[in-house]
Structure 1
Amino acid sequence: MTPHHLRGAAVLAVVSSLALSGCGGDDTASGTGGPSGDITVLTNRTDLVDTTFQDYVERFQEQYPDVDVEFEALTDYEGDTRIRLNSRDYGDVLLIPSSNVSPDQYPDFFEPLGTTDELGDTYRFVGDGSYDGTVYGLSTFGSAMGYVFNRDVFEAAGVTEPPAGEEEYLDALQQVKDRTDAIPYYTNYADGWPLDTLAGNLGNQQGPDVVPEMTSDPAPWTEGNDIYAMDGLLYDTVARGLSEPDPTTTNWEESKNLLATGQVGSMVLGSWAITQMQDAAEAAGEERDVIGFWPMPWQTDGAFRSVTATDKLLAISRYSENKEAARAWVDWFETESGYAESQGAISPLQDSQVPDTLKDFSDLGVEYVELDPRPAGEESLVNDIANDAEITLFGHEYRQELVDAARGAADGDKQSIFDDLNRRWGQAVTAVR
């Protein structure tokens, strides 16, 4: 199949937005005839839980006055939630942990929200939260892949156009190193999860069927494949001394200020990060537009491309005692909160437009690629292969090992590491398929 392209500020889709009907639950109907009860919402947004999210609750309760919403913000969201999933104590509404729950496990933990056909008319990215034709998680928002950068730093280095190839990209970072005092690239190694986002580039060159292709490829870390390109670029960046001197001391929250104030030049992240970096710039007394966002340095037929995908998936606990109230919150959050817009992200609603934060992409005519849903019955196949191979494909552990080798803190080089990854992956493909 050909990639799903969107150019510039083109409309993502134009269909009518539908309000979802609530699913059955254990609530006792309130005097208003609507849902009632207390619900706990787990979130990773420790920075918003006492401000923006409280405003959401006030607005939500204008429609659902008998539902009380409490938030539980987790700093190590993935790690803490993974532990809590072993019990039935993981709130009423939560974000599906992306690094440790595979689609075939969705029915074990989460309430079905509807079919992909039903919800696909209203929402984008429904395939990301579905299993066997049933949706268990709805996208909070979508992101486009690229890298945030400090315009002043890059201009001072003489880099005024986005690099169109890997060597050109590495040369640009070298210019930042040679001509400014900024660290050209920041890995965010210590927090780990920012390295997870590199997997969001899968599909940039191979197209929307990249994941099914990987499940039958015995050696995906081979030149010409997306995963070779993105992991190889990380290795080369670190090996050439273009990243922070000691990655074990990085800090995600501090990295925002470092980029905003020009102490760091760039970071590969999804477009969800743009507003956070702009907020940091504003807090530091800088102009918001000092933060730019460029596409990754790969082109197809002379055009830049960017993979769009969901960020987090919002779900309802299978064990919630207030499922009707939980569903009311999910539906309201998705359709009325304005959360995606506040983050400068791609809305999960089909009738939305590309946000202003992607103006750089619009000006460059970047083509957007959305991955196809994984084949029915094979939604978890790539995860199963990765688990059998003991490769954190959508995580950060093996990428931290890449960084360690590249900086001389561990044995191996790029080719030997890729050879080992291919050996393990190939064995797992044979064992699992």
Structure 2
Amino acid sequence: MGKKTTALSGALLTAVMLTVSACGGGGGGATGETAAAPADPKEVSGEIKVLTQRTDLVQNGALKQYAADFNKIYPKVKVSFDGITDYEGEVKIRMSAKSYGDVLFIPGAVAKNDYPKFFAPLGTTAELSSRYRFSDKTEVDGKVYGIAQFGTANGFVYNKALWRKAGVTAWPKTPQEFLDGLKAVKAKTGATPYYTNFKDGWPLVQWTANNGSVGCDAQAGNKLAGPVSPWKEGSELRTIDGLLHDIVEQGLSEKDPTTTNWENSKSLLADGKIGAMMLGSWSITQMQGVAKDSGLNPADIGFMPFPVQKAGKFCAALVSDYQQAVSVHSKNKTAARAWIDWFTEKSGFAEKEGVVSAVKSAPMPATLKEFVDNDVTFFDRSEAKTAAVNDIDDAAEIGLNKQDYRQKLIDTARGAEKGSLEDFFADLNKRWDEAAKTVGS
């Protein structure tokens, strides 16, 4: 499975929050905040169960090793892990019975306003926002209910050697320059310039995470909360989805998108048979690992920002992965909080995975060195109005964070669906605006 689940949590679940009913499990919520662990770690004790979607890290023993390192500081806390393949579906069921461990990643199926029913508050927004990125993603009434496992930037994972062979050595600065680069790859190397991963679907959601990067606007997500015609001329989503459409329409992607294969795409990219894919920065180490395992050069795997500049600079929005939370029903909340704090700040997990640490003072990972060296502007995309945006998206039945509408976009671009791009965008705008008025945003 690799990091497929991480990709889903990082981008697909960045905004998706369907509604879980109260499940009769609120129990009045937590009383007070789950404070950080005492100064003396030996005062913290108890058994905690950590739910995770990273079944690979459970199976290969990596999480067990993290627990062993944790126990060097907190010897009286026993940590066990429950790796869940269908994390969203399974945890949603468990939450109905209050049996969802002590530490867990907040499922996308839980509405933001329902967080106090299921999770213990970890502190005030004022306190935690100074230390951690993405704290507004789980903020309800001034309290924070989750701390990000990590963050991710978005961009194009690409084969640098292949692009050099095509004569393209500088990052494209405009969508047209990017298309020209893909055309050069096709003409001069015979490789497939771009790979959509249409069949698996979830990689198409990665495109949404560029919202904000186009205009270098931390409020881009919040600005969708209303009848704003998100795909109007000049908008971020029109630029993003317009580029995907043009890639396919101009024959710069795989011949038959219905036959794509995510696992195979990693080898194809490493081997120089495809040029680029839109993914989160979480994928860089995975692609480099495949290259190394295949006897290829991991340094050939590069990462470029979305091809738009603002004031002469590229921008990259940083978005949150799953958020770690403490169950409101946990009998060992202090131990659970100790685990979250240690895992976030001391475990080295973010560095090892090559992702952006939730800790604001931490440096950017080595995977984003080229972004740092080329002065790409990083910013945290605000999630303050995510709940309202989700409500509109749900009512409009568009699915900004689902694959369906972009699959239809690709089918329209390749002629498998009738209609023009203008009609496609007009329909999205109409549905969005009508839904926005309905839900009263």
TM-score tier, shorter chain, comes to 0.7 to 0.9
The aligned runs of 1:255-404 (5 Å cut-off) are: 255-374=265-384, 378-404=385-411
1:92: which partner in 2?
Answer: 102
Alpha-carbon offset, residue 32 of structure 1: 4.7
Q: Contact 1:173 / 1:242 at 8 angstroms: preserved in 2?
A: yes
Alpha-carbon offset, residue 193 of structure 1: 2.4
Distance 1:39 1:72, change over 3 A: closer
Alpha-carbon offset, residue 84 of structure 1: 4.5
Which whole-Å CA distance do the structure 2 matches of 1:130 and 1:284 have between them?
A: 44
* TM-score (normalised: structure 2): 0.84
The aligned runs of 1:57-206 (5 Å cut-off) are: 57-98=67-108, 100-206=109-215
Which whole-Å CA distance do the structure 2 matches of 1:246 and 1:70 have between them?
A: 44
Which whole-Å CA distance do the structure 2 matches of 1:79 and 1:292 have between them?
A: 34
Which whole-Å CA distance do the structure 2 matches of 1:415 and 1:266 have between them?
A: 26
Q: Does 1:23 align with 2:55?
A: no
Q: 2:221 aligns to what SS in structure 1?
A: helix
Distance 1:159 1:363, change over 3 A: same
Amino acid at match of 1:403: I
Q: 1:112 aligns to what SS in structure 2?
A: coil
Alpha-carbon offset, residue 381 of structure 1: 0.9
Deviations 1:323-348 (A, max 9, x none): 33322221111111111111222211
Deviations 1:135-172 (A, max 9, x none): 11111112222111011111111111111111111121
**1:53 maps to which of 59, 63, 66:** 63
Q: Does 1:245 align with 2:255?
A: yes
Distance 1:82 1:158, change over 3 A: farther
Distance 1:166 1:193, change over 3 A: same
Q: Contact 1:164 / 1:299 at 8 angstroms: preserved in 2?
A: yes
Identity %: 43
Q: 1:184 aligns to what SS in structure 2?
A: strand
Q: Contact 2:33 / 2:123 at 8 angstroms: preserved in 1?
A: no
Alpha-carbon offset, residue 107 of structure 1: 2.2
1:210: which partner in 2?
Answer: 220
* CA RMSD, 1 decimal: 2.4
* TM-score (normalised: structure 1): 0.86
Q: Contact 1:189 / 1:248 at 8 angstroms: preserved in 2?
A: yes
Distance 1:401 1:116, change over 3 A: same
Which whole-Å CA distance do the structure 2 matches of 1:281 and 1:240 have between them?
A: 29
Amino acid at match of 1:417: F
| Unpaired segments ≥5 residues, structure 1 | 1-20, 26-30
| Unpaired segments ≥5 residues, structure 2 | 1-31
Alpha-carbon offset, residue 215 of structure 1: 1.5
Amino acid at match of 2:284: I
1:411: which partner in 2?
Answer: 418
Deviations 1:214-268 (A, max 9, x none): 2134311112111111122122212222222333333333322221122221111
Aligned length: 404
Alpha-carbon offset, residue 47 of structure 1: 5.2
Distance 1:75 1:385, change over 3 A: same
Q: Does 1:234 align with 2:244?
A: yes
Alpha-carbon offset, residue 50 of structure 1: 2.0
Which whole-Å CA distance do the structure 1 matches of 2:413 and 2:46 have between them?
A: 55
